[in-house]
Structure 1
Protein backbone atom coordinates (compact mmCIF):
# COMPACT_ATOMS: atom_id res chain seq x y z
CA UNK A 1 0.00 0.00 0.00
CA UNK A 2 2.80 2.41 0.87
CA UNK A 3 4.47 1.74 -2.49
CA UNK A 4 1.25 2.56 -4.35
CA UNK A 5 0.82 5.80 -2.38
CA UNK A 6 4.44 6.76 -3.05
CA UNK A 7 4.03 6.09 -6.77
CA UNK A 8 0.83 8.17 -6.84
CA UNK A 9 2.66 11.08 -5.16
CA UNK A 10 5.53 10.74 -7.63
CA UNK A 11 3.08 10.82 -10.55
CA UNK A 12 1.37 13.88 -9.12
CA UNK A 13 4.73 15.62 -8.71
CA UNK A 14 5.68 14.76 -12.30
CA UNK A 15 2.39 16.27 -13.52
CA UNK A 16 2.89 19.40 -11.39
CA UNK A 17 6.46 19.99 -12.57
CA UNK A 18 5.60 19.35 -16.23
CA UNK A 19 2.53 21.58 -16.14
CA UNK A 20 4.41 24.37 -14.38
CA UNK A 21 7.10 24.37 -17.07
CA UNK A 22 4.49 24.42 -19.84
CA UNK A 23 2.37 27.18 -18.28
CA UNK A 24 5.52 29.26 -17.78
CA UNK A 25 6.72 28.72 -21.35
CA UNK A 26 3.46 28.75 -23.31
CA UNK A 27 0.98 30.49 -21.04
CA UNK A 28 -2.25 29.17 -19.62
CA UNK A 29 -4.46 29.22 -22.72
CA UNK A 30 -1.88 27.73 -25.10
CA UNK A 31 -1.17 24.77 -22.81
CA UNK A 32 -3.55 21.89 -23.42
CA UNK A 33 -4.09 18.79 -21.34
CA UNK A 34 -2.60 16.84 -24.26
CA UNK A 35 0.55 18.98 -24.01
CA UNK A 36 0.77 18.10 -20.33
CA UNK A 37 0.29 14.39 -21.15
CA UNK A 38 3.09 14.51 -23.72
CA UNK A 39 5.47 16.46 -21.46
CA UNK A 40 4.93 14.22 -18.44
CA UNK A 41 4.35 10.85 -20.06
CA UNK A 42 1.10 10.57 -18.09
CA UNK A 43 -2.28 9.65 -19.49
CA UNK A 44 -5.24 12.01 -19.32
CA UNK A 45 -6.84 9.59 -16.90
CA UNK A 46 -3.83 9.82 -14.61
CA UNK A 47 -3.91 13.62 -14.72
CA UNK A 48 -7.67 13.70 -14.07
CA UNK A 49 -7.17 11.29 -11.17
CA UNK A 50 -5.13 13.98 -9.42
CA UNK A 51 -6.77 17.15 -10.79
CA UNK A 52 -10.36 17.72 -11.87
CA UNK A 53 -9.42 20.08 -14.70
CA UNK A 54 -6.68 22.25 -16.15
CA UNK A 55 -8.07 25.08 -13.98
CA UNK A 56 -7.77 22.90 -10.88
CA UNK A 57 -4.18 22.01 -11.79
CA UNK A 58 -3.26 25.67 -12.32
CA UNK A 59 -4.86 26.67 -9.02
CA UNK A 60 -2.86 23.96 -7.25
CA UNK A 61 0.34 25.37 -8.78
CA UNK A 62 -0.61 28.93 -7.83
CA UNK A 63 -1.37 27.97 -4.25
CA UNK A 64 1.94 26.13 -3.96
CA UNK A 65 3.87 29.06 -5.43
CA UNK A 66 2.30 31.78 -3.27
CA UNK A 67 2.31 29.72 -0.07
CA UNK A 68 5.91 28.60 -0.54
CA UNK A 69 7.00 32.13 -1.45
CA UNK A 70 5.49 33.63 1.69
CA UNK A 71 6.81 30.83 3.93
CA UNK A 72 10.31 31.28 2.52
CA UNK A 73 10.12 35.05 3.06
CA UNK A 74 8.81 34.58 6.59
CA UNK A 75 11.69 32.24 7.45
CA UNK A 76 14.27 34.63 6.00
CA UNK A 77 12.83 37.75 7.63
CA UNK A 78 12.41 36.45 11.15
CA UNK A 79 13.88 38.21 14.14
CA UNK A 80 13.41 41.49 15.92
CA UNK A 81 13.91 43.77 12.94
CA UNK A 82 11.99 46.98 12.52
CA UNK A 83 9.29 47.11 9.86
CA UNK A 84 11.55 49.43 7.84
CA UNK A 85 14.41 46.90 7.93
CA UNK A 86 11.98 44.16 6.98
CA UNK A 87 10.73 46.18 4.02
CA UNK A 88 14.28 46.60 2.73
CA UNK A 89 14.78 42.84 3.16
CA UNK A 90 11.50 42.19 1.37
CA UNK A 91 12.67 44.37 -1.54
CA UNK A 92 15.80 42.19 -1.83
CA UNK A 93 13.69 39.05 -1.63
CA UNK A 94 11.35 40.42 -4.30
CA UNK A 95 14.33 40.84 -6.66
CA UNK A 96 15.63 37.36 -5.79
CA UNK A 97 12.28 35.86 -6.84
CA UNK A 98 11.56 38.11 -9.83
CA UNK A 99 11.45 35.42 -12.45
CA UNK A 100 8.38 33.76 -11.04
CA UNK A 101 7.37 31.49 -13.89
CA UNK A 102 3.62 31.66 -13.33
CA UNK A 103 3.13 35.44 -13.02
CA UNK A 104 2.14 36.05 -16.65
CA UNK A 105 0.18 32.79 -16.80
CA UNK A 106 -1.71 33.90 -13.68
CA UNK A 107 -2.76 37.16 -15.34
CA UNK A 108 -3.89 35.23 -18.40
CA UNK A 109 -5.70 32.70 -16.21
CA UNK A 110 -7.77 35.44 -14.56
CA UNK A 111 -8.68 36.99 -17.90
CA UNK A 112 -9.66 33.57 -19.23
CA UNK A 113 -11.75 32.32 -16.29
CA UNK A 114 -13.10 35.67 -15.08
CA UNK A 115 -13.09 37.03 -11.56
CA UNK A 116 -16.69 35.92 -10.93
CA UNK A 117 -16.11 32.26 -11.77
CA UNK A 118 -15.43 29.66 -9.09
CA UNK A 119 -11.83 29.33 -10.34
CA UNK A 120 -11.42 33.12 -10.39
CA UNK A 121 -12.66 33.39 -6.81
CA UNK A 122 -10.32 30.59 -5.70
CA UNK A 123 -7.38 32.30 -7.40
CA UNK A 124 -8.22 35.61 -5.73
CA UNK A 125 -8.42 33.83 -2.36
CA UNK A 126 -4.87 32.54 -2.91
CA UNK A 127 -3.69 36.07 -3.73
CA UNK A 128 -5.54 37.51 -0.73
CA UNK A 129 -3.88 35.00 1.60
CA UNK A 130 -0.51 36.16 0.30
CA UNK A 131 -1.58 39.78 0.73
CA UNK A 132 -2.61 39.08 4.31
CA UNK A 133 0.97 38.15 5.15
CA UNK A 134 2.29 41.34 3.59
CA UNK A 135 -0.41 43.37 5.35
CA UNK A 136 0.92 42.04 8.67
CA UNK A 137 4.30 43.59 7.83
CA UNK A 138 2.68 46.91 6.92
CA UNK A 139 0.50 46.82 10.03
CA UNK A 140 3.64 46.36 12.14
CA UNK A 141 5.09 49.51 10.54
CA UNK A 142 1.92 51.45 11.30
CA UNK A 143 1.57 50.08 14.84
CA UNK A 144 5.17 50.86 15.74
CA UNK A 145 4.74 54.42 14.55
CA UNK A 146 7.46 54.00 11.92
CA UNK A 147 5.05 54.66 9.05
CA UNK A 148 1.94 56.71 8.47
CA UNK A 149 -1.13 55.59 6.57
CA UNK A 150 -4.86 55.29 6.94
CA UNK A 151 -5.48 51.85 5.48
CA UNK A 152 -3.20 48.83 5.83
CA UNK A 153 -4.82 47.19 2.78
CA UNK A 154 -4.37 50.28 0.61
CA UNK A 155 -0.77 50.86 1.68
CA UNK A 156 0.07 47.17 1.13
CA UNK A 157 -1.45 47.26 -2.33
CA UNK A 158 0.46 50.44 -3.21
CA UNK A 159 3.81 49.00 -2.06
CA UNK A 160 3.36 45.68 -3.88
CA UNK A 161 2.17 47.47 -7.03
CA UNK A 162 5.19 49.75 -6.81
CA UNK A 163 7.54 46.75 -6.64
CA UNK A 164 5.65 44.94 -9.40
CA UNK A 165 6.00 47.95 -11.69
CA UNK A 166 9.74 48.14 -11.01
CA UNK A 167 10.10 44.44 -11.71
CA UNK A 168 9.21 44.97 -15.37
CA UNK A 169 12.82 46.21 -15.81
CA UNK A 170 14.49 42.99 -14.72
CA UNK A 171 15.53 42.11 -18.28
CA UNK A 172 17.43 45.41 -18.52
CA UNK A 173 19.93 44.90 -15.69
CA UNK A 174 21.64 42.27 -13.61
CA UNK A 175 20.46 41.22 -10.17
CA UNK A 176 22.90 43.46 -8.28
CA UNK A 177 21.72 46.51 -10.22
CA UNK A 178 18.08 45.53 -9.64
CA UNK A 179 18.68 45.21 -5.89
CA UNK A 180 20.24 48.67 -5.85
CA UNK A 181 17.28 50.05 -7.82
CA UNK A 182 14.81 48.45 -5.38
CA UNK A 183 16.79 49.76 -2.39
CA UNK A 184 16.64 53.30 -3.77
CA UNK A 185 12.97 52.90 -4.61
CA UNK A 186 12.27 51.63 -1.09
CA UNK A 187 14.04 54.66 0.38
CA UNK A 188 11.97 56.94 -1.83
CA UNK A 189 8.78 55.13 -0.80
CA UNK A 190 9.68 55.28 2.88
CA UNK A 191 10.36 59.01 2.63
CA UNK A 192 6.67 59.34 1.79
CA UNK A 193 5.28 57.13 4.55
CA UNK A 194 7.72 57.67 7.43
CA UNK A 195 6.40 59.51 10.44
Structure 2
Protein backbone atom coordinates (compact mmCIF):
# COMPACT_ATOMS: atom_id res chain seq x y z
CA UNK A 1 0.00 0.00 0.00
CA UNK A 2 1.42 3.39 -0.98
CA UNK A 3 1.58 6.22 1.54
CA UNK A 4 -1.17 8.04 -0.35
CA UNK A 5 -3.45 5.00 -0.23
CA UNK A 6 -2.59 4.44 3.43
CA UNK A 7 -3.44 8.05 4.30
CA UNK A 8 -6.75 7.80 2.41
CA UNK A 9 -7.58 4.57 4.24
CA UNK A 10 -6.78 6.14 7.62
CA UNK A 11 -8.94 9.15 6.75
CA UNK A 12 -11.85 6.85 5.91
CA UNK A 13 -11.46 4.96 9.20
CA UNK A 14 -11.28 8.24 11.13
CA UNK A 15 -14.46 9.52 9.47
CA UNK A 16 -16.29 6.27 10.25
CA UNK A 17 -15.15 6.16 13.89
CA UNK A 18 -16.12 9.80 14.42
CA UNK A 19 -19.50 9.32 12.74
CA UNK A 20 -20.18 6.23 14.87
CA UNK A 21 -19.68 8.23 18.07
CA UNK A 22 -21.78 11.14 16.83
CA UNK A 23 -24.67 8.98 15.59
CA UNK A 24 -24.70 7.14 18.93
CA UNK A 25 -24.59 10.37 20.94
CA UNK A 26 -26.83 12.67 18.87
CA UNK A 27 -28.87 10.36 16.67
CA UNK A 28 -28.96 10.20 12.88
CA UNK A 29 -30.99 13.31 12.10
CA UNK A 30 -29.13 15.62 14.49
CA UNK A 31 -25.70 14.63 13.20
CA UNK A 32 -24.70 16.68 10.17
CA UNK A 33 -21.94 16.24 7.61
CA UNK A 34 -20.42 19.43 9.05
CA UNK A 35 -20.38 17.84 12.53
CA UNK A 36 -18.60 14.77 11.21
CA UNK A 37 -16.05 16.80 9.25
CA UNK A 38 -15.37 19.15 12.16
CA UNK A 39 -14.99 16.39 14.75
CA UNK A 40 -12.88 14.16 12.49
CA UNK A 41 -10.70 16.99 11.20
CA UNK A 42 -11.56 16.02 7.61
CA UNK A 43 -12.58 18.26 4.75
CA UNK A 44 -15.91 17.87 3.00
CA UNK A 45 -13.93 16.86 -0.08
CA UNK A 46 -12.42 13.95 1.83
CA UNK A 47 -15.80 13.05 3.25
CA UNK A 48 -17.51 12.93 -0.12
CA UNK A 49 -14.55 11.14 -1.71
CA UNK A 50 -15.22 8.16 0.56
CA UNK A 51 -19.00 8.48 1.04
CA UNK A 52 -21.42 10.05 -1.41
CA UNK A 53 -23.91 10.92 1.32
CA UNK A 54 -24.68 10.65 5.02
CA UNK A 55 -26.95 7.72 4.15
CA UNK A 56 -24.09 5.84 2.50
CA UNK A 57 -21.85 6.55 5.49
CA UNK A 58 -24.45 5.18 7.90
CA UNK A 59 -24.90 2.05 5.78
CA UNK A 60 -21.14 1.49 5.71
CA UNK A 61 -21.04 1.85 9.50
CA UNK A 62 -23.91 -0.59 10.00
CA UNK A 63 -22.36 -3.22 7.75
CA UNK A 64 -18.95 -2.84 9.37
CA UNK A 65 -20.34 -2.97 12.92
CA UNK A 66 -22.54 -6.03 12.36
CA UNK A 67 -19.83 -7.94 10.47
CA UNK A 68 -17.15 -7.28 13.09
CA UNK A 69 -19.53 -8.09 15.93
CA UNK A 70 -20.50 -11.48 14.48
CA UNK A 71 -16.90 -12.38 13.60
CA UNK A 72 -15.90 -11.57 17.17
CA UNK A 73 -18.81 -13.63 18.52
CA UNK A 74 -17.77 -16.64 16.42
CA UNK A 75 -14.27 -16.39 17.87
CA UNK A 76 -15.60 -16.14 21.44
CA UNK A 77 -18.05 -19.04 21.01
CA UNK A 78 -15.77 -21.44 19.11
CA UNK A 79 -15.34 -23.77 22.12
CA UNK A 80 -19.08 -24.12 22.83
CA UNK A 81 -20.52 -27.46 21.78
CA UNK A 82 -24.31 -27.03 22.00
CA UNK A 83 -26.79 -24.57 20.55
CA UNK A 84 -28.30 -24.08 24.01
CA UNK A 85 -24.93 -23.07 25.45
CA UNK A 86 -24.40 -20.75 22.49
CA UNK A 87 -27.76 -19.06 23.05
CA UNK A 88 -26.98 -18.37 26.73
CA UNK A 89 -23.50 -17.17 25.79
CA UNK A 90 -24.94 -14.97 23.03
CA UNK A 91 -27.25 -13.35 25.58
CA UNK A 92 -24.18 -12.37 27.63
CA UNK A 93 -22.35 -11.27 24.51
CA UNK A 94 -25.33 -9.16 23.44
CA UNK A 95 -25.25 -7.27 26.76
CA UNK A 96 -21.48 -6.72 26.60
CA UNK A 97 -21.27 -5.63 22.96
CA UNK A 98 -24.67 -4.33 21.92
CA UNK A 99 -24.66 -0.61 21.09
CA UNK A 100 -28.23 0.42 21.88
CA UNK A 101 -27.71 4.16 21.20
CA UNK A 102 -26.38 3.34 17.73
CA UNK A 103 -29.26 0.93 17.14
CA UNK A 104 -31.66 3.72 18.08
CA UNK A 105 -29.94 5.82 15.41
CA UNK A 106 -30.64 2.94 13.02
CA UNK A 107 -34.33 3.03 13.88
CA UNK A 108 -34.30 6.78 13.29
CA UNK A 109 -32.45 6.23 9.99
CA UNK A 110 -35.17 3.89 8.71
CA UNK A 111 -37.94 6.19 9.90
CA UNK A 112 -36.35 9.13 8.06
CA UNK A 113 -35.45 7.50 4.73
CA UNK A 114 -38.33 5.00 4.59
CA UNK A 115 -38.05 1.22 4.41
CA UNK A 116 -38.88 1.13 0.70
CA UNK A 117 -36.17 3.58 -0.35
CA UNK A 118 -32.96 2.27 -1.94
CA UNK A 119 -30.99 2.97 1.26
CA UNK A 120 -33.78 1.44 3.34
CA UNK A 121 -33.64 -1.76 1.30
CA UNK A 122 -29.85 -1.90 1.67
CA UNK A 123 -30.20 -1.48 5.44
CA UNK A 124 -32.76 -4.29 5.49
CA UNK A 125 -30.29 -6.59 3.69
CA UNK A 126 -27.65 -5.80 6.35
CA UNK A 127 -30.13 -6.56 9.14
CA UNK A 128 -31.18 -9.81 7.51
CA UNK A 129 -27.55 -10.97 7.56
CA UNK A 130 -27.72 -10.70 11.35
CA UNK A 131 -30.89 -12.82 11.32
CA UNK A 132 -29.14 -15.32 9.03
CA UNK A 133 -26.27 -15.56 11.53
CA UNK A 134 -28.65 -16.32 14.40
CA UNK A 135 -30.46 -18.76 12.13
CA UNK A 136 -27.28 -20.85 11.97
CA UNK A 137 -27.46 -21.38 15.77
CA UNK A 138 -31.17 -22.21 15.54
CA UNK A 139 -30.58 -24.77 12.77
CA UNK A 140 -27.85 -26.35 14.87
CA UNK A 141 -30.25 -26.61 17.82
CA UNK A 142 -33.03 -28.11 15.68
CA UNK A 143 -30.65 -30.66 14.12
CA UNK A 144 -29.43 -31.72 17.59
CA UNK A 145 -33.07 -31.90 18.82
CA UNK A 146 -32.34 -29.23 21.44
CA UNK A 147 -34.97 -26.93 19.91
CA UNK A 148 -38.43 -27.62 18.55
CA UNK A 149 -38.74 -28.05 14.81
CA UNK A 150 -39.97 -24.55 13.99
CA UNK A 151 -39.20 -22.38 10.97
CA UNK A 152 -35.54 -21.49 11.71
CA UNK A 153 -35.59 -18.07 10.06
CA UNK A 154 -38.76 -17.05 11.90
CA UNK A 155 -37.37 -18.33 15.20
CA UNK A 156 -34.09 -16.46 14.61
CA UNK A 157 -36.08 -13.27 13.95
CA UNK A 158 -38.07 -13.78 17.17
CA UNK A 159 -34.91 -14.33 19.23
CA UNK A 160 -33.14 -11.25 17.86
CA UNK A 161 -36.27 -9.12 18.33
CA UNK A 162 -36.58 -10.46 21.88
CA UNK A 163 -32.99 -9.53 22.76
CA UNK A 164 -33.26 -6.18 20.99
CA UNK A 165 -36.36 -5.26 22.98
CA UNK A 166 -34.74 -6.30 26.24
CA UNK A 167 -31.74 -4.09 25.49
CA UNK A 168 -33.75 -1.00 26.49
CA UNK A 169 -33.04 -2.15 30.05
CA UNK A 170 -29.65 -0.38 29.79
CA UNK A 171 -31.56 2.79 30.73
CA UNK A 172 -32.27 1.59 34.26
CA UNK A 173 -30.01 -1.42 34.93
CA UNK A 174 -26.28 -1.91 35.27
CA UNK A 175 -24.46 -4.50 33.17
CA UNK A 176 -24.65 -7.31 35.73
CA UNK A 177 -28.38 -6.76 36.26
CA UNK A 178 -28.86 -6.82 32.49
CA UNK A 179 -26.94 -10.09 32.22
CA UNK A 180 -29.19 -11.65 34.86
CA UNK A 181 -32.26 -10.39 33.02
CA UNK A 182 -31.01 -11.76 29.69
CA UNK A 183 -30.09 -15.09 31.30
CA UNK A 184 -33.59 -15.46 32.78
CA UNK A 185 -35.16 -14.33 29.51
CA UNK A 186 -33.15 -16.94 27.60
CA UNK A 187 -34.20 -19.64 30.07
CA UNK A 188 -37.84 -18.68 29.65
CA UNK A 189 -37.45 -18.63 25.89
CA UNK A 190 -36.01 -22.14 25.94
CA UNK A 191 -38.40 -23.58 28.52
CA UNK A 192 -41.55 -21.66 27.64
CA UNK A 193 -43.79 -20.06 30.24
CA UNK A 194 -46.65 -22.55 30.27
CA UNK A 195 -46.99 -23.97 33.76
CA UNK A 196 -47.44 -27.71 34.35
CA UNK A 197 -50.89 -28.40 35.78
CA UNK A 198 -50.89 -28.49 39.54
CA UNK A 199 -47.76 -26.32 39.94
Task: Give TM-score scaled by structure 1 length.
Answer: 0.94
Deviation for aligned residue 1:101 = 4.1
Pairwise mapping of residues 10-159 of structure 1 onto structure 2 (< 5 A)?
Answer: 10-159=10-159
Per-residue CA distance 1:143-167 (angstroms, 9 max, x = gap): 1111114211111111111112221
Conserved? CA contact 2:28–2:109, under 8 Å? yes
Deviation for aligned residue 1:182 = 1.1
RMSD: 1.5
Work out the CA distance in 2 between the residues paired with 1:156 and 1:123: 18
Structure 1 counterpart SS, 2:59: helix
Conserved? CA contact 1:83–1:137, under 8 Å? yes
Per-residue CA distance 1:18-70 (angstroms, 9 max, x = gap): 11111111111111111111111211111000111111111000001110111
Deviation for aligned residue 1:100 = 4.2
Taking structure 1 as reference, are residues 139 and 178 closer, same or farther at Cα in structure 2, changes over 3 Å only? same
Work out the CA distance in 2 between the residues paired with 1:35 and 1:144: 51
Per-residue CA distance 1:83-135 (angstroms, 9 max, x = gap): 10110100110111233442011001111111111111111111111111100
Work out the CA distance in 2 between the residues paired with 1:160 and 1:19: 25
Count of residues paired in the alignment: 193
Structure 2 counterpart SS, 1:102: helix
Which 10-residue stretch deviates more, 8-17 or 184-193? 184-193
Q: Which residue of 2 aligns with 1:183?
A: 183
Q: Which residue of 2 aligns with 1:168?
A: 168
Work out the CA distance in 2 between the residues paired with 1:128 and 1:41: 34
Work out the CA distance in 1 between the residues paired with 2:34 and 2:134: 37
Work out the CA distance in 2 between the residues paired with 1:135 and 1:12: 32
Runs of 4+ in structure 1 over 6 Å off: none
Work out the CA distance in 2 between the residues paired with 1:162 and 1:36: 33
Give ranges in structure 1 of 5+ residues lacking alignment.
Answer: none
